[in-house]
Amino acid sequence: MTSTAAADVLKPDFAARRKHFIFNDEHEALRESIRNFATKELAPHAEEWEETTFPNWVFPRMGELGFLGLDKPEQYGGQGGDYYSALVLAEEIGWARSGGLAMGIAVHTDMAMPPILKFGTEEQKQEWLVPAIKGQKILCLGITEPDAGSDVSGIKTRAVRDEGSGEYVINGSKTYITNGHRADVIVLVTKTDPDAGYDGFTLFLVPMDLPGVIREKKLEKLGMHASDTALLAFQDVRVPDSAVLGQVGKGFYHIMWELQGERLIGAAGCVSGAQRCFEMTLKYAMERKAFGREIGHFQVIRHKFAEMATKIETARQMVYMTAWRFQNGEYPVREISMAKLYASRIAVEVADECIQIHGGAGYMKEYGVERVWRDMRLNRIGAGTDEIMLDVIGRSYGL
Ligand SMILES: Cc1cc2nc3c(=O)[nH]c(=O)nc-3n(C[C@H](O)[C@H](O)[C@H](O)COP(=O)(O)OP(=O)(O)OC[C@H]3O[C@@H](n4cnc5c(N)ncnc54)[C@H](O)[C@@H]3O)c2cc1C
């Protein structure tokens, strides 16, 4: 038997970069440029925007940099990238240190934009998608109502066709609408035929400056303070046939499709938010001393980090693997629901544990971890609650 030369001894290199197989060098270059932008141009304003909400100039600036249409076709001004490039944005925008901003951008790029691209007519794409990718028009999405959130089929907003004028007349209200105060147009879910069950829903593209669209009030929230959240009313709002998005009567299925992308992007944001919080806390635990040593060297604290890192890595793999399925043409609703459920839960758990590791400092605004917790808490509710995710997963087994 030959003895192993010292150079052949395998030692773990924990500092080595772990590039995932779904990403190539272009994704990594994109990652770096979004991170640079977010760190230099957005993060310095993070505290201010918690008070004022983030300003609209962020949209045209990101449009100019090509970040609002990363996975959208070049013919509409997008970058023509794959789905993974959208994941990169969801992950790296976290460096803006503003959950509210990340959510406002994601609603624009990954919630309101995809239905316009998938179901819109060429005219609708030219009118809304092209300027939205440039950041010149801002989008929002209206599903939730005061009396119906999880139960989308329970919405009451009605769109009735006025045969005389050939227009639709819309009445109803929507609540918790992100970007609702700043948006130029809303992708609106309505009921067009209350007797037709799931086949009685229709989506509309409703310009927000039409008579009868009322932006009622800015809602105050636990977290995500940099985003604006609106209660909206629609009173005899008249839109032409050309405002119908997709097929009349198929809006429920259209919006269920939209929710899948929204959930996966949300899950990616949770993983990166948890990772950043972990890193901030690791640094703190290496510096803060108690009983004569850095707190990170207590076994109890070390194990907290080990638990958190394992959960984050598990969630990350679920998101990446599900994204791979999505990119390769599958419609993995079960896996998306699992990734959304798990990533949202662990992000809140991690942020909570990070507050604990910071001790009293964790409760202070100055350190930023309490904000991560408040911002992350939304993800167990928005885009479908934990309970709804569990129900989707359970039902997928025929239960
Ligand atoms: C900050 C913020 C931003 C948002 N942005 C938007 C937006 O831009 N556009 C938009 O349309 N919506 C938006 N939402 C709405 C969000 O998607 C809903 O709040 C969410 O879907 C839950 O609906 P709900 O609030 O009506 O809760 P409810 O549906 O009233 O649920 C209340 C509780 O009952 C549980 N529950 C309900 N049904 C079941 C069931 N079948 N089985 C078990 N438990 C159940 C829920 O899980 C929850 O715990 C936003 C919400 C927030 C807070």
Per-residue model confidence as pLDDT tens digits over 326-338 = 999 999 999 999 9
Q: Which of 107, 143, 144, 379 to mutate to test the pocket of ligand 1 (most atoms within 8 A of CB)?
A: 144
Binning pLDDT at 50, 70 and 90, where does residue 1 land?
A: very low
- Measure the CA–CA gap between 282 and 295, rounded to whole angstroms: 10
How many CB atoms lie under 10 A from the CB of residue 95? 20
Catalytic residue among 50, 127, 262, 370: 262
Q: Which helix H or strand E contains 195, and what residues bound it?
A: none
| Residue 227 region by backbone torsions, left for phi larger than 0, else alpha for psi between -120 and 50, else beta | beta
pLDDT tens profile 191-211: 999 999 999 999 999 999 999
H-helix segments, the chain: 25-37, 46-52, 58-64, 83-92, 99-106, 113-119, 122-124, 130-134, 251-287, 299-327, 333-358, 360-363, 369-377, 386-395
The closest residue, in CA terms, to atom 14 on ligand 1 is 176
Is the pLDDT confidence value at 278 over 50?
A: yes
The residues, any chain, with a CB within 8 Å of residue 366's CB and separated by 6 or more, are none
For residue 159, give Cα distances in angstroms to 124, 169, 234, 264.
Answer: 19, 5, 10, 30
- Measure the CA–CA gap between 378 and 33, rounded to whole angstroms: 28
CB-CB contact of 223 with 88 (8 Å): no
Ligand 1: nearest atom to the Cα of 174: 11
Per-residue tokens: 60: 């045209």
Ligand 1: nearest atom to the Cα of 144: 11
- Measure the CA–CA gap between 54 and 34, rounded to whole angstroms: 17
- Measure the CA–CA gap between 133 and 137, rounded to whole angstroms: 8
pLDDT tens profile 72-105: 999 999 999 999 999 999 999 999 999 999 999 9
Task: Establish whether residue 387 lines the binding site of ligand 1, counting it when its CB lies within 6 angstroms of any ligand atom.
Answer: yes
